[in-house]
Amino acid sequence: MKLVDIIVGTRPNFVKVAALIKAYKTSKLGFSSFKLRLVHTGQHYHDAMSNSFLSQLSLITPDINLNVGSGTHAKQTAEIMRRYDDLLSQKKSHLCVVVGDVNSTVACAITAKKLNIPVAHIEAGIRSGDDTMPEEINRIVTDSISDFLFTTSKTANENLIKEGKNKKKIFFVGNTMIDTLLANVNRLVIPEVTKNKLLKPKNYFVLTLHRPNNVDNNRQFIKLLQVLGELTRHWPIVFPVHPRIKKDLIDRSALPINFIFIDPQPYLEFIYLIKNSFAVITDSGGLSEETTVLRVPCLTIRNTTERPETVTLGTNQLITVNPKNFPKYFNNLFQGKWDSGVTPPKWDGKSAERIMTQISKILKNC
C-alpha cells in the first residue's frame, strides 16, 4: 500500500488539510489504494492554535508529532528538517504533500525531495512580490522543487508558467480552505465574547494581526491600534490576540476603550465572529479569502497580496501599512461604498476531492 505524508504545522494548515482528510475518508470515488500519514511538525503548539482545530474539524489525530516548537526561522526550519528526516529514514513515504507557505511547508518539502520523494504543493504559485516576507521565500523555494503544483487561481498558474514550470504539473483545483469553510458554515458556535459583550450582528469589527512588521515593535503597534480605535468610530473591535504578541506588554490605558482583547479562538467560534462582523481588519492572507466567500468587507493592513483575486473579485482592499492612508477606506466602508464581491472560480467546496483524485493518479507512477 502506498503511503502519503500530509504535513501540518500551523493553524491555517489544519484548516486546509481538514478538507483533504475529509475527502479521503468520505469521497464516493474511494481512495483506499493509499494510506495517509498525518505529520504534525509542532510549529504551533498552543492548544488554541493546534488541538482545538484538530478536534473541531474532525481531523484524525496526527500519526506523528515532531514537537519542534518555536525558534528563529533558520533554527525552526532546520529542526523540522532534522526530525522529519529521521521519520523518513524509519519509514519512507511515496509522496509528501505540503500546504501553504509556512516554515513547516518548506522544511518538509526540502527534506522529502532530498530523499527523492516526490513533493505535491497545495496553494502553489501565489506570489506577493515581496521577498521581505518569510512566507514569500517559503513559497518560491517550495514551488521550485515541487513535482506537482495545485493552485487556487489562474493567476497562480500564470506565475508558475512564468517561472518555467511544466504546465502538465500544474493543476488548478480551487481552495481547500474554502472547502472547510463551506463544510462548517452551518455548524458555527457562538463564542463567549458575543454573549458576554452583547455583540450585535454587523455592529462590531474583528481585528487580527500577527505579521512581525505590524506587531513586533511595541510603540508602532500601539500607535496602529490607536488609529484603528479612532477610525472604527469607537465601534467594538474584537481582537483575538496571536501568541506572538505579548499581551502583557500592551498598555491598555493608551488605547481607546472599544478594544476587546480575547484569546485565539477555535475555528467554529472564529468563523462565527467573522461572519457576523461589520468588517474585518487584518494582515492575514487566508482571512481575506474567507471574508470574500462570506461577503464581509476586509481591510488588509499590507501593501501587497499574494491573493489578488480577493481584491479584484472579492471583498478585500489593501489599505497599506501606513495609517495616514487608512481614513478614506474607513469612510467608504461607513458610507456603504464597498464591493460585495463574488466567489472566485472553483472555490466551490470540491477542491480537496479534485486534489485527492489527482493524487491517486499520481501515485500509480510513484
Which residues have a catalytic role annotated?
210
* Phi, psi for residue 238 in degrees, rounded to 5: -85, 125
Residue 175, CA atoms < 13 Å, CB-side half-sphere: 27
All residues at 6 or more sequence positions from 337 whose CB lies less than 8 Å from its CB, including other chains: none
Cell representation of residue 22: 475529509
Sign for the pseudo-dihedral over CA of 249, 252, 258, 261: positive
Asked if 125 and 149 touch (Cβ cutoff 8 Å), the reply is yes
Q: Which stretch binds ligand UD1 (CB under 6 A): 4-12, 60-68, 194-202, 339-347?
A: 4-12
**What count of residues does the chain have?**
366
Q: Interface with ligand UD1 by CB under 6 A: which range of 5-13, 30-38, 228-236, 251-259?
A: 5-13
Q: Establish how many alpha carbons lie within 13 A of residue 58's alpha carbon, considering only the half-sphere containing its beta carbon.
A: 12
Task: Say whether residue 45 binds ligand UD1 (CB under 6 A).
Answer: yes
Candidates 98-106, 113-121, 308-316, 329-337 — which segment interacts with ligand UD1 by CB under 6 A? 98-106
Rule CB under 6 A: choose which of 16, 40, 44, 165 binds ligand UD1.
Answer: 44
Q: How far apart are the first and last CA of the chain?
A: 12
* Contact (Cβ atoms closer than 8 angstroms) between residue 104 and residue 7: yes
Stretch that binds ligand UD1, among 28-36, 42-50, 111-119, 198-206 (CB under 6 A): 42-50
Q: Which C-beta is closer to ligand UD1: that of 12 or that of 308?
A: 12
Q: Cell numbers at residue 52, please? A: 482545538
Q: Which 238-297 residues touch ligand UD1, going by CB under 6 A?
A: 243-244
Minimal distance in Å, beta carbon 101 to ligand UD1? 6
Question: Could you tell me if 286 and 177 are in contact, meaning their C-beta atoms sit under 8 angstroms apart?
Answer: yes
The contact pattern for ligand UD1, residues 11-30, with x = CB under 6 A and - = no contact, is: xx------------------
Q: To the nearest whole angstrom, how small is the minimum distance from the Cβ of residue 68 to ligand UD1?
A: 9
Distance of alpha carbon 238 from alpha carbon 205, whole angstroms? 6
Contact string 155-194 vs ligand UD1 (x = CB under 6 A): ----------------------------------------
**Strands, E assignment, 46-109:** 64-65, 95-99
For ligand UD1, which residue of 5, 79, 123, 135 counts as binding (CB under 6 A)?
135
10 forms part of the interface with ligand UD1 (CB under 6 A): yes
Of the candidates 122, 174, 118, which has an alpha carbon nearest to the alpha carbon of residue 150?
122
Contact string 203-222 vs ligand UD1 (x = CB under 6 A): -------x------------
Among 26, 67, 70, 325, binds ligand UD1 (CB under 6 A): 70
Is 43 a residue that touches ligand UD1 (CB under 6 A)?
A: yes
* DSSP letter (8 states) at residue 336: T
Which of 102, 120, 280, 319 binds ligand UD1 (CB under 6 A)? It is 102
Would the CA dihedral through 149, 154, 156, 162 be positive or negative?
Answer: positive
Residue 138 CB, nearest approach to ligand UD1 (Å): 6
How big is the site for ligand UD1, counted in residues (CB under 6 A)? 17
Instruction: Please report whether residue 134 would count as binding ligand UD1 according to CB under 6 A.
Output: yes
| Number of helical H runs and strand E runs in the chain | 15, 13
Query: Which residues contact ligand UD1 by CB under 6 A?
Result: 10-12, 43-46, 49, 70, 101-103, 134-135, 210, 243-244
